Chain A
């Protein structure tokens, strides 16, 4: 093949390239109706106004939680695909809440952290997002953007966390100390010059704040959590630590937390929180310093498997 034939080959390709570009352009124009909307939830989250419980809590954020996103495919040409990424905001929000609610928070990301905090962590919290639903005015004909979430919180003893052969952390659900759901709802009305994305973001932030409020006000009212707090108080008294005196000068003994008051409105919510605050007076010790984060894949039906985010280990079983 000479120089001429090579030049001919190149010039033959130009129309093909042009045709491809035209086809691509046509496809782009045709597809323009099916837009995709993406929201990476962002917000500023205030620290809770609480006296932190003087306990040390470990926190595991499963990878499905820390990287949580919600995808909804468009049902027709008039609708858009929606991708709502809440993971980063979830971790930021719950970190802020837990840090304000507990005196010490340990982020458990690997087996070494588990080993080094065996004696000091009172319990390990593992949040998961079981369900998320959203609605925009196009879906409902109501001028409100809504986000609804259901969390599943599990509290396990740190000794119940095990390491698998591949390095993943697991725990047996039968060994859990408590498990309870938290629902959250956020809505924001339509507003002039507000995009769908901004409104969904705002609704998600409101939902996160609502989740935190729900968590704070029901934590001490959850029977298994109340029993766990009682156990910690008993252990503290058994270890010879001085019980704390209350404002009237009486020495406090172990009294139940507000276990029988579901927080369905502001009044009950405050009762519950006051119950937690009362329980706080039974506890008087702390230890350990907080650190990093964790990746975890969760199987709601059987056992949970934690992948070691720090070692980039693959997911070992479990379904997100």
Chain B
């Protein structure tokens, strides 16, 4: 390849990386962990399910957040089988609906008194059930922006900013012993900006993504033999 073209490409990549870095707002993250009985040799052929709590009146733990954590764990250690949340809830309907979902690990024993439920748990070889409770909310927002459109011209001018906060707690249940074996929490916050001079440029703080990575890393460390 021509060295000049190669240099141009490198500069473009560098420029793109710099732009991505600049467009990302700042995020603060705090992670707390308290776990017991870590599976030192990993979980073998057993599976893990990650479920969101949705019984609170004013919020639901987001399905895409649960999926994000599952993907994070599976990509970190492909040997860990993470069962899809929606598939699991449908397979066990109606026992994991917001109204019926067990709130304590001891309740699972009573659920296992139902033969079809016990059989299905046997089939999926579940080792850990992880409950995630929390959500992400936008907080205060300030600024103003006005946009206009005319014949052959359109544009915006102004500046807006808003805060985002995530607060999640993961509770790990050992499904074999029906006990809680750990809690991991992640609190993240960040400020996003949107300056607009003709074109609005969103500078979004990846608050939820950081919470997902933080929780995912801790859970991966707990579950995987390689981390």
Residues of A within 8 A of B (CB): 46-51, 142, 144, 187-189, 209-210, 212-214, 216-217, 263, 265-267, 269-271, 273-274, 277
B157 contacts partner chain A, Cβ-Cβ < 8 Å? no
- A50, A213, A271, A273: which contacts B97 (Cβ < 8 A)? A213
**Known contacts A49-B93, A217-B94, A270-B102: A189-B110 contact under CB 8 Å:** no
Min CB–CB distance B94 → chain A (angstroms): 4
17 chain-A/chain-B pairs, Cβ below 8 angstroms: A46-B93, A49-B116, A49-B120, A50-B114, A209-B93, A212-B94, A217-B100, A266-B99, A266-B101, A266-B103, A267-B104, A269-B100, A270-B95, A270-B102, A270-B111, A270-B113, A277-B114
Whether B60 and A188, one on each chain, are in contact in the complex, defined by CB atoms closer than 8 angstroms, is yes
Q: Is B21 an interface residue (CB 8 A)?
A: no
> Within residues 175 to 217 of chain B, which ones have a CB less than 8 A from any CB in chain A?
none
CB proximity of A276 to chain B, nearest CB, Å: 9
Give 6 closest A-B pairs by Cβ, nearest first.
A213-B94, A46-B90, A46-B93, A213-B97, A269-B100, A270-B110
The answer to whether A51 touches B115, judged by C-beta atoms less than 8 angstroms apart, is yes
Q: Report yes or no: B58 in contact with A48, Cβ–Cβ below 8 A.
A: no
Instruction: Give the shortest distance, in Å, between B119 (CB) and chain A (any CB).
Output: 9
Closest chain-A Cβ to B111's Cβ sits at a distance in Å of 5
Q: What are the residues of chain A within 8 A of B103 when measuring CB–CB? A: 265-267
A-contacting residues of B (Cβ < 8 Å)? 58-60, 62, 90-95, 97-104, 107, 110-111, 113-117, 120
Assess the A274–B97 pair: CB atoms within 8 A.
no
Measured in the bound complex, the distance between the Cα atoms of B95 and A273 in whole Å is 10
Q: A48-B93, A214-B99 are in contact. Are A142 and B58 (CB under 8 A)?
A: yes
Partner of A266, one of B58, B107, B114: B107
Apart from A50-B114, A50-B116: 16 A-B pairs, beta carbons within 8 A:
A46-B91, A48-B93, A49-B116, A49-B120, A189-B59, A210-B98, A213-B94, A216-B94, A266-B100, A267-B104, A267-B107, A270-B107, A270-B110, A270-B113, A273-B114, A277-B115
- Cα separation A46 to B101 with both chains bound (whole Å): 16
Query: Looking at A266, A269, A273, which has the most chain B CB atoms within 10 Å of its CB?
Result: A266
User: With A49-B120, A213-B99 in contact, do A271 and B110 touch (Cβ < 8 Å)?
Assistant: yes
> Nearest-CB distance from A238 to chain B (Å)?
27
Q: B111 to A209, Cβ gap below 8 A?
A: no
Q: How far is the CA of A270 from the CA of B103 in the complex (A)?
A: 11
**Which of B58, B60, B114, B120 is A274 in contact with, Cβ under 8 Å?**
B114
> How distant is B135 from chain A, measured CB to nearest CB, in Å?
8
Closest chain B residue to A144 by CB distance?
Answer: B58
Residues of B within 8 A of A213 (CB): 93-94, 97, 99-100
Chain A residues within an 8 Å CB radius of B60: 187-189
Nearest CB in chain A: distance from B113 CB, A:
5
Tell me if A269 and B93 are in contact (CB < 8 A): no
Q: Which A residues are CB-close (under 8 A) to B113?
A: 270, 274, 277
Determine which of B94, B102, B115 lies in contact with A267 in the assembled complex, contact meaning CB atoms within 8 Å: B102
CB nearest neighbor in B for A216:
B94
Residues of B within 8 A of A266 (CB): 99-103, 107
Task: Please name all residues of chain A whose beta carbon is closer than 8 Å to the beta carbon of B99 when the two chains form the complex.
Answer: 210, 213-214, 217, 263, 265-266, 269
| A97 CA / B60 CA spacing, docked (Å) | 25
- Is A48 touching B94 in the complex (CB atoms < 8 A)? yes
B167 CB → nearest A CB, Å: 15
Residues of B close to A48: CB separation below 8 A: 93-94
Contacts of A269 in B (CB 8 A): 99-100
B63 to chain A, nearest CB (A): 10
Among B60, B90, B97, B99, the one with the most A-chain Cβ atoms within 10 Å of its Cβ is: B99
Cross-chain contact A49 with B58 (CB below 8 angstroms): no
Bound-state CA distance A48–B100 (Å) is: 13
What residues of chain A lie closer than 8 Å to B59, measured between beta carbons? 189
Whole-angstrom CA separation of A270 from B114 in the bound complex: 9
Residues of B within 8 A of A188 (CB): 60
Please name all residues of chain A whose beta carbon is closer than 8 Å to the beta carbon of B91 when the two chains form the complex.
Answer: 46, 49
